[in-house]
Amino acid sequence: MWGKLPCIVDFYADWCRPCKMVGPIMEDLAKEYKGKIIIYKVNTDAEKELSMLLNIRSIPSILMVPKTGQPTMKVGLMPKDVYVQTIRDVLKVQ
């Protein structure tokens, strides 16, 4: 078991245009799934060591970490419905 709630980690950079487009999607998901998942944001420029440790080579990278089981990484800008489906499939949250 990883934590009390499943989480999403949004790896981004301030200069990244696709990252800026993912930001509002993550904000919407945080509101819609409040109390069911936690969403963290990690600035890859500020957290270079963590980004290297997790092998973040392209941004945006979205790490989905379920309460149990294997985490899943989504790379690149995707429509909100893809993130929602991944939340359902990987995080097992409806």
| Count of positions (residues) in the chain | 94
Signed CA dihedral, 40, 46, 50, 54: sign only: positive
Closest CA to 61 of 13, 12, 25, 7: 12
From 7, 16, 22, 87, active-site residue: 16
Q: Is 56 helix (H, G, I), strand (E, B) or coil?
A: coil
Instruction: Give yes or no: 7 in active site.
Output: no
From 19, 25, 62, 64, active-site residue: 19
Instruction: Give yes or no: 16 in active site.
Output: yes
Q: Which residues are catalytic?
A: 16, 19
